[in-house]
A = this chain, B = another copy of it.
């Protein structure tokens, strides 16, 4: 903590810090507490969290310390600050960030000129995790997983073929029908229906030639190279919650990446 001679009312969190061996800044601890509340669903995606002043009182720290904690969470896209309105739990349903994890963009124009993707669910079934899938999702081999296969089309052109695997337990009740009926990003459905919010992801990208089955699903001429995009998406606390393998046509689109 910060003063060995606190005037009177030493902050509770600061006391806790002094008592523990492991040192970390106060605002990091506050960040952790807010994260816990997010994970526990105390504030749901799209809702506002308490004001900085309220949180400062709750955690018995200054507003500035809460502010710094929120700043970091906001820069990680877990919260969204809106001046004059409040601070909100981020969601994949917002139109702004609807395609935050989809980096495929048209060569000409943008997503608006092209319009929204058409989604077609090809398949959705329950099966046992292979060793590879289990490893990616931090499960045991043979654990139950859901496999979804779908095709995304832009301007009626089939462009993305995706297979994705989800741990069966948190996604109990997911069916091809519910996926097909839902009108919006899949990650938004995960939030509202299963309380699973994807926070970050890693992708491994390769160039591949599709096999016959893949070629037919995308209605491709032979010898068309495709982008293979393997994604692991994580929810809070870095828990892997989805493995996704996508094949992207890149004759009219490209994968866009900003290096900073």
Contact = CB atoms under 8 A, between A and B. Distances in A.
Count of this chain's copies in the oligomeric assembly: 2
A25 interface: no
Interface in A76-118: 76-77, 100-101, 103
A244 to B, nearest CB: 11
Interface stretch (A5-13, A55-63, A198-206): A198-206
A223 interface: yes
B256 A204 contact: yes
Interface-centre pick from A201, A202, A226, A257 (highest chain B CB count, 10 A)? A257
Q: Chain A interface mostly helix, strand, loop or mixed?
A: strand
Contacts of A206: 227, 250, 254-255
Contacts of A208: 207, 225, 250
A31 to B, nearest CB: 16
Contacts of A250: 205-208
- Identify the 3 closest CB pairs spanning chains A and B, nearest first: A225-B225, A207-B225, A206-B250
